[in-house]
Amino acid sequence: MSRYIINGGKPLKGEVFIRGAKNASYKQIIASMLSDEETELINIPQISDVRITESIAKSLGMDIKAVGEHGLRVKTESFKSTVVPSGTGEKSRTSFIFAGPLLAREGKIRFPFPGGDKLGERPLDRLFACLEQMNVKVEQDNDGVTMTTSGLRGTEYTFPKPSHTATEVVMMAATLAQGETIIKNAACEPEIDDLMEMLNSMGAKIKRDKKVASTIYIDGVKKLRGTTHQVISDRNEAVTFACAALSTRGAVSILRINPEIIETFLKTIERMGAKVNRGKDEVMVSWVETLRAVEIETEPEPGFMTDWQAVFSLVLTQAVGVSSVIERIYPSRFQHIATLNKMGAKTKFFNPDINHPESYYHFNPESDKPEFWHGVKIYGPVRLNPIEITVADLRAGATATLAALTAEGKSVVEGVEYIERGYEKLAERLCSLGAEIEHIKT
């Protein structure tokens, strides 16, 4: 198990380049399989989630060639299998996303239940319901899911709650379906628009409603071509480096990021007293005075993103007053709080008093459990202490790393393989900002 040995307590300062978005890159590799022609993808991050996706895609018939350090040429002239391997498929959440191109081109797919972070049950039922309306037969057993179709048909479907990945899978499948598909209450994340841009460059006909952005129209076409596409920058990375700057009382220029896609976060830290300078494709975040407490709720786009709340919780431990975080997207996503508490944070879990939880929360009610908390109060500022810890989650692992940089003294973070699922060379890039991290690989 690899580890970081971290000597913390120093302000992080300098500039850092943001890589391609994890939540866009591996999905666009899969989307390229909708065509039998070659596609070139630019700005692909070197992370394990991408490598797992490549492994699955190769097993299904994709040919992959590296182009420099962050580019790929991919081509799936024909499929040699429609079965996602159980080993790699269970390691990542990508397995069911292959349903889009495989149903469109082959009419069938078999995949294991997806893995990924321990965030609670993922709402695949919303995806299944929409695909069934598109003439897909869905059969589940103890080992996974089998889908078959005699031909995809366009449909009109309203998601009961917005679902980021389900929106993308339906969008992929609908590009080659017969007739028009209308998705209502669709997710609005910028990664979805980036996928839409890629698919349209391949010959798809997809557009958002100009007045109601959560409605997407897809006119099915007979064939898609290859394309060249640059993957959108990773807004989660940008927020992580911003939080690293604020928690250590530093200043970081974050390059190759459109500030508009993290505007909700930037406005939040400005309310707390942070200084933010926005450029066209960069943003500078600086600690200039003691931060003030704030209250946030995670929400779908354009709200405060659930992926941000773990690293942001660290920043709240350094703010004056009582902050609160309410998690509305997942039923259980406060794994990082235990780590912060071990380091000296002062927190208190609570459940919000909500009249209509079924509409307030975006997870399925059956995914909830009595022992889950949906809110946490964070009291600050506190002085964090070094820690030795083993992490088992991407966002919690990143939070532990930044917390160790905030604390004075030596910390050890084990299990950094989880962190490398979503961050390319995180330790190396933090060191370029003045951090002291020894990355021991085993």
Would you place residue 89 in the very low, low, confident or very high pLDDT band (cuts 50, 70, 90)? Answer: low
pLDDT per position as a tens digit, 333-363: 999 999 999 999 999 999 999 999 989 999 8
What architecture (CATH level 2) is domain 3-19+233-440?
Alpha-beta prism (3.65)
Tell me what the mean pLDDT of segment 366-371 comes to.
Answer: 90
Give backbone dihedrals phi and psi of 51, rounded to 5 degrees, phi first: -65, -40
Contact yes or no for 209/182 (Cβ under 8 A): no
What global pTM score does this model have? 0.93
**Number of residues written out for the chain:** 442
Whether CATH 3.40.309.10 fits 22-230: no
Same CATH fold assignment for domains 3-19+233-440 and 22-230: yes
Residue 123 vs residue 176, higher pLDDT = 176
Omega within 30 of 0 (cis) for the link into 114? no
Distance (Å, whole) CA 65 – CA 54: 11
pLDDT per position as a tens digit, 267-316: 999 999 999 999 999 999 999 999 999 999 999 999 999 999 999 999 99
As to burial, measured by CB atoms within 10 angstroms (0-12 exposed, 13-18 middle, 19+ buried), residue 255 is: middle
pLDDT at 119: 37
Residue 132 above 90 pLDDT? yes
Distance (Å, whole) CA 381 – CA 33: 50
Question: Which range has the worst mean pLDDT, 62-71, 137-146, 197-206, 230-239?
Answer: 137-146
Residue 431 above 90 pLDDT? yes
Domain parsing of the chain, residue ranges: 3-19+233-440, 22-230
Distance (Å, whole) CA 194 – CA 187: 13
In SS3 terms, 118-165 reads as CCCCCCHHHHHHHHHHCCEEEEEECCEEEEEECCCECCEEECCCCCHH
